[in-house]
């Protein structure tokens, strides 16, 4: 049957992070048919990472073959600055590559057609199509993890800027602040990333914490040091989002990443602080992302289907299975 034939097609989706890779086989409804998890060998250098990406794509292709599936295309999304049009990995501090023709390299090593994308823009596209953004057209997707990045969507279209757009974590909030890894001082990332929050709490209190989640737990218990550090981070986020709102007038801001798991502890005060900073501007709605750390992988699948010329058609049943399986 024709329908059965269509169900036998899939794409490979791979989200490459600084420490791990998340992969899946996704059908046209974005339903996962197979999964893969691997470590990213970042400490071994860019060549080792490229080899591991190729191996992961090939392993997923083997899974597809064992299920009798035809792979239409592979979507691979990576961190840092990515020129999607040229399919080049321009820069990544975590992985160490520079101006790498990664798309062409992966096609040569895997024998598959490959679409290269940037992980945060892919995650934002997934939240827009499958997650929290719904029907919104002007959206900022901002994951807050070890660092802070963003994906900008204006009138439903991603803003790329040859790969340089969306670096909200490097908006300077405090010119006399700490030195950032990018070379500037007082970037948002030095004040409000999960890593910065944990480090600042340990310095202020003299007590080590494993991460920002520990600071959030202490905040909920009324710890005064946690309150001071959290308040500083929220104020910095509000300042950056006020700048962004003035420039781009988003109707919706979607927060993702590990810090968004704090939910109301972060979102409620941030809504108040942002509203206090705005006058004539359109006040955006702030929500937590729905796709969690699977947003990038799903976004990789979306760009693979789009480039293959067959738009994905998500269904409610597939949404339920994604939640359970990815």
Q: How far apart are CA 133 and CA 115, in angstroms?
A: 24
Q: Is the per-residue pLDDT at 213 higher than 70?
A: yes
Counting beta carbons within 10 angstroms of the beta carbon of residue 57, is it exposed (0 to 12), middle (13 to 18) or buried (19 or more)? Answer: buried
Which residues of the chain does CATH 3.30.420.40 include? 7-124+292-325, 136-288
Write down the residue that tokens 């439903």 correspond to.
156
Query: Is the distance from CB of 215 to CB of 229 less than 8 angstroms?
Result: yes
For the entire predicted model, the pTM comes to 0.89
End-to-end CA distance of the chain: 29
| pLDDT tens figures, 105-127 | 999 999 999 999 999 999 999 99
7-124+292-325 classified as CATH 3.30.420.40: yes
Q: Is the per-residue pLDDT at 316 higher than 70?
A: no
Average pLDDT, the chain: 91
Q: Is the per-residue pLDDT at 234 higher than 70?
A: yes
| pLDDT tens figures, 156-188 | 999 999 889 999 999 999 999 999 988 999 999
pLDDT at 315: 61
**136-288 sits in which CATH class?**
alpha beta
pLDDT at 121: 96
What is the DSSP track for 127-144?
HHHHSTTTT-SSEEEEEB
| pLDDT tens figures, 57-103 | 999 999 999 999 999 999 999 999 999 999 999 998 878 899 999 99
pLDDT at 280: 96
At 3, the pLDDT band (50, 70, 90 cuts) reads: very low
Would you give the DSSP letter of residue 265?
H
Share of the chain above pLDDT 90, in %: 84
């Amino acid at each position: 049957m024709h329908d059965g034939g269509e169900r036998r097609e899939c794409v490979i989706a791979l989200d490459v992070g600084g420490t791990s890779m998340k992969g899946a086989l996704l059908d046209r409804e974005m339903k996962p048919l197979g999964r893969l998890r691997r470590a990213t060998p970042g400490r071994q250098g860019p060549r080792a990472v490229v080899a591991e990406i190729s191996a992961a794509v090939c392993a997923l292709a083997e899974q597809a073959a064992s299920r009798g599936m035809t792979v239409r295309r592979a979507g691979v999304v990576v961190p840092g600055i990515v020129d999607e049009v040229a399919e080049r990995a321009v820069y990544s501090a975590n992985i160490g590559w520079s101006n790498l023709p990664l798309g062409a390299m992966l096609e040569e090593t895997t024998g598959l057609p490959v679409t290269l994308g940037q992980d945060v823009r892919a995650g934002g596209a997934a939240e827009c199509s499958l997650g929290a953004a719904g029907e919104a057209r002007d959206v900022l997707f901002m994951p807050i993890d070890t660092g802070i990045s963003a994906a900008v969507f204006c009138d439903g279209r991603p803003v790329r800027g040859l790969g340089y757009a969306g670096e909200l974590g490097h908006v300077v909030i405090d010119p006399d602040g700490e030195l950032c890894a990018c070379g500037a001082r007082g970037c948002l990332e030095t004040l409000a990333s999960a890593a910065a929050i944990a480090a600042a709490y340990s310095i202020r209190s003299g007590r080590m914490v494993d991460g920002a989640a520990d600071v959030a737990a202490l905040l909920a218990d009324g710890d005064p040091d946690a309150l001071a550090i959290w308040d500083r981070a929220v104020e910095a986020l509000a300042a950056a989002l006020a700048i962004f709102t003035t420039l781009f007038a988003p109707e919706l801001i979607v927060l993702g990443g590990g810090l968004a798991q704090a939910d109301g502890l972060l979102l409620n005060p941030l809504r108040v602080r942002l509203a206090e900073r705005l006058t004539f501007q359109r006040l955006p709605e702030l929500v937590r992302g729905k796709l969690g750390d699977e947003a990038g992988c799903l976004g990789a699948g979306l760009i693979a289907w789009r480039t293959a010329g067959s738009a994905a058609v998500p269904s409610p049943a597939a949404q339920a299975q994604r939640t359970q399986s990815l």
